[in-house]
Chains A and B, each alone.
Chain A
Amino acid sequence: MKQVMTLAVAPLLLLVIGCAKAPTDKLAAAEQAVNEARTAGAADYMAEDFAKIEGMLANAKTEIAQQDDKVAVLRDYGKAEQLLVAAQTESTRVMGEVGKKKEEVKAAAIQAQRDAQEAVKTAQLLVAKAPVGKDRAALEAIKADVRGLSASLNEVSAALQAGDYKAAQSKAKAIQDKSQAVSEEIKSALAKTGGAKASKSAMAKKK
C-alpha cells in the first residue's frame, strides 16, 4: 500500500516542483530600467532605440501572459526572460548614450547662450553710443529691441534650467542673430554720423 501511495504522489510532487515560475523579479528590473531610460530622455534623444526597448518589454509581457494561460507543467518563461534581460541591457546602454548625447546638446546650448550674451552685450554698448539723429523714434525702437533681446536671454536660461537644451540653443541662436543685426544697424548709423556728437543731443529740452 505504501508503495502504491509513493507511486501516486511522486508524479504530483514532480509536477509541483517542475512548474516554472513567472520571472516577476526580472520583469520589475526591466521595467525600472526602461523607466530610468525614459526619465533620462531616451524617448526624446534616441526615440527609435527606446521604441525597440519598449517593444521588447511589451513582447516579454505578452509572452508571460501566454505562458500563464498554459497548464502549469507546460509553462516555459525562458523566452520572456531572454527578452526582459535584453530590454534591461539595452536600457542601460541607451541610458549611457542618452547621457552623452544630452551632454553634447547641453554643451552646445551653453555655448550658444554665451555667444548670445556676448552679442547682446555688444549691442548694449553700441546703443549707448548711438547717434540721436533726426530719427529719435528709430533710436527708441532700437533701445527697446536691445531691452527685448536682453529679456529673451532669461528664456534661454529658463530652458537650460528645465533641461530643454534644444529650445535653449535655438532661442540663443535667434537672439545672437538679432543682436548682431541691431549692432550692425547702430554701427552703420555711427559710420554715417561719425558718432562723435551722439550725446550732444541730450541738451535738447523738448517735452
Chain B
Amino acid sequence: MATTVRGAFSILAVAWWLVAGLSACVQNAPPELLQAVEVLDRQLVEVQGAEFAPEEYARFVDRWVAVKGRLLAEEDVIHWPWEADPLVTDLHRLQEDGWQAAMTAAQRKAAKRLEAQQRLGVMEQRLRVFNSLLDEIGGRVVLGQRPIETQVVVSQARSLLDQRLYARSLGALQEASRQLDEQSALLNEELGRYADAGRVEVWRRMMERTVEWSRAHRTAAIVVSKADRLLTLYRNGRRVVSYRVRLGFNGVLEKRYQGDGATPEGLYHVIKKRDRGQTQFYRALLLDYPNSEDRRRFRQARTAGAIPPEAFIGGQIEIHGKDDMLLSQTLGCVMLDNRQIDAVFDATAVGTPVTIVGATEVSNAVALALAGIERAGGAQDAPKADGQTVAQEAAVEGS
C-alpha cells in the first residue's frame, strides 16, 4: 500500500514538474526587449533609414517582420527549459542589427547633410562672385534673365536642404552649377575679345594712332576705353585728364544695331557740338557714327542673319553730360558728369578725333572679371584641407 502511495506521489511530482517546466517555457518574449526593438524601429524612421541605409534597413525590416510572425506562432514560443529561447536570441540579434542600421543611417545622413551644406555654401559664394563680377563689367544685361533663374535654383536648393531633402538639394546645386558654366561660356563668347591679346593689340594701335595724330596736329583727341570705362583727353599727344564714364546699358558689347544699348567701337570724329539748350543732356559732342566701317559690319551682320531683319543701324551717338538724373539715360552714348563734359567740351572742336576701343591693356577689367569667373567655376569642386574652398579663395582674388 505504502509502495503504491509513494508511486502515486512520484508520478504526481513528475507531472507537476513537467507542467511547471512547460508553463515556464510558454512565456512571451521579454516586453522590455520588444520595446527596445520597437524604439529602434522608430529611430530608424526618424533617421530615414530607408533612404540612408537601405540595405541595412531592409535586412532589419525583414528580420523584424519574421520575428513578429514567429511571436504569433505557438511552436516558436514553446521551448525546453534547458534550451536558450531562440526568439529572445533573435530579438537580441535584431536589436544589434537595428542599432547598427540606425548608426549607419545617422552617419550617412549627417554626411549627406554636411555635403549638401558645404556644396550650397560653395555655390552661394560662387554665385556672389559671379554676380559681383558681372555687375562690375556691366554684363548682366548680356545674360538676360539667366542670372535670376540660377539664383532661383540656388534658393530652391537651400529650401530643399531646410526640408532635409539632401539628395534633391544636391541635384538643384548641380543644375545651378551647370547653368553658371553655361553663362560663363556665353560671357566668354560675347566678351572673350577683351581677353584676346591680338584684338587688344589692334585697339592699342588705334589708340596710339589717335594720340600720334594729336601730337602731329597739335590738337586735342579723345580715347575711350570701354572695359575700364575711362575717357582720356589728350592735347598735343599728351594725356590731359581721364574721367570715369557711363556707357550704354549694354555698353560692353559691340554695337550691332539701333537700340541694342551697346556703345560702338571705332575711329570717330566730333561732327557737331551741342551746347546748353541744344541738347537734353546739358552739353554734347555728336560723333560721326555710323562710319563706313560700321555700315560694312552692319550689312555683313544682316546678311549673316546675326541681327533682326527689321533692325536699323542707328545714329546720334554722343559724348554728353547729364542735365537731369532722370533723363540722363544712354542707349549707347558715352556719358560724363556735367563738370567733366564742360572740360571736354571746351577742349574740343568739330573734327576732334574720338577713338572708342574695347581696351588698351590685356589685363583690362573685363578680361580680369572673365578670368575670375572662370577661376571660381573651376575651383568649385576642389575643397581644400583647411576647409576653405578654392572657390572661396578665387572669390577673394576676384574681388
Distance in angstroms between the alpha carbons of A159 and B61 in the assembled complex: 33
Which chain A residues lie closer than 8 Å to B69 at the CB level? 59, 79, 82-83
Distance in angstroms between the alpha carbons of A2 and B378 in the assembled complex: 94
Which chain A residues lie closer than 8 Å to B280 at the CB level? 203-204
Q: Judge whether B326 and A193 touch: CB under 8 Å.
A: yes
**Which of the 9-residue segments B298-306, B310-318, B340-348 touches chain A?**
B310-318
Distance in angstroms between the alpha carbons of A47 and B280 in the assembled complex: 68
Q: Judge whether B62 and A58 touch: CB under 8 Å.
A: yes
Segment 281-337 of B: residues with Cβ below 8 Å from A? 314-318, 322, 325-333, 335
What is the CB-to-nearest-CB distance from B167 to chain A, in angstroms, rounded to a whole number?
11
Q: Judge whether A134 and B325 touch: CB under 8 Å.
A: yes
Which chain A residues lie closer than 8 Å to B61 at the CB level? 51-52, 54-55
The answer to whether B354 has its CB under 8 Å from any CB of chain A is no
Interface size on B, residues (CB 8 A): 63
Contact count band on A: 35 or more
Closest A residue by C-beta to B138: A137
What is the CB-to-nearest-CB distance from A169 to chain B, in angstroms, rounded to a whole number?
8
Interchain CB contact (< 8 A) of A133 among B50, B314, B326: B326
Interchain CB contact (< 8 A) of B50 among A48, A167, A175, A177: A48
Which of A137, A152, A171: most chain B Cβ within 10 A?
A137
The answer to whether A149 has its CB under 8 Å from any CB of chain B is yes
Which chain A residues lie closer than 8 Å to B51 at the CB level? 47
Q: Judge whether A79 and B330 touch: CB under 8 Å.
A: no
Segment 114-167 of B: residues with Cβ below 8 Å from A? 138, 140-141, 143-149, 151-153, 155-156, 159-160, 163, 165
Q: Judge whether B165 and A166 touch: CB under 8 Å.
A: yes
Which of B49, B149, B172: most chain A Cβ within 10 A?
B149
Q: Judge whether A201 and B326 touch: CB under 8 Å.
A: yes
Q: Judge whether B331 and A149 touch: CB under 8 Å.
A: no
Q: Judge whether A207 and B249 touch: CB under 8 Å.
A: no
Interface string of B208-227 (1 = CB under 8 A from A): 00000000000000000000
Query: Mind listing 11 A-B residue pairs with CB under 8 Å?
Result: A56-B65, A137-B249, A141-B140, A144-B141, A147-B144, A148-B149, A174-B152, A193-B326, A204-B280, A206-B333, A207-B317
Q: Chain B interface (Cβ within 8 Å of chain A)?
A: 44-45, 48-51, 54, 57-58, 61-62, 64-66, 69, 72-73, 138, 140-141, 143-149, 151-153, 155-156, 159-160, 163, 165, 168, 172, 246, 248-251, 258-259, 261, 280, 314-318, 322, 325-333, 335
Listed from nearest, the 3 A-B pairs whose CB atoms lie closest are A148-B145, A207-B314, A55-B61
Q: Chain A interface (Cβ within 8 Å of chain B)?
A: 47-48, 50-52, 54-56, 58-59, 79, 82-83, 131-134, 136-137, 139-141, 144-145, 147-149, 151-152, 166-167, 170-171, 173-175, 177-178, 193, 197-198, 200-201, 203-207
